[in-house]
Amino acid sequence: LDKLVGLAMLVAASVVFLYYTIWTLLMPFVDSDHPLQNFFPPRVWAIRIPVILLLLGSAVVGSFLSVVMIRSNRKKAAKAKAAAAKKKA
């Protein structure tokens, strides 16, 4: 099953890469009234989509790191509190 999932992910990534490459590198040279232009969104989205994905990905990674750091500091504080209580007793 894992090989099948990996293959599906590879195929999906390849299709997205080919679509985006054709959209950004080849379509500017095709006439605007050509029927092939109907398969692609306006060119302004060729910039907007990656920027949105980059910002969203950065927010997710930043949130994950923040949660990990907060939990780590809570564990350290709990250990220090336990050590202080043990030392007191």
Q: Which residues are CB-contacts of 28 (< 8 A; sequence separation ≥ 6)? A: 43
What pLDDT is recorded for position 36? 94
Residue 63 and residue 23 share a domain: no
Distances (CA, A) of 34 to 37, 44, 79: 6, 18, 68
Which residues of the chain register pLDDT less than 70? 89
Name the one residue in this structure whose structure tokens are 């109907």: 38
Residue 49 and residue 36 share a domain: no
pTM for this entry: 0.72
Residue 17 and residue 1 share a domain: yes
Length of the chain in residues, anyone?
Answer: 89
Residue 26 and residue 5 share a domain: yes
Q: Where in the sequence is the domain holding 13, given as residue range(s)?
A: 1-40
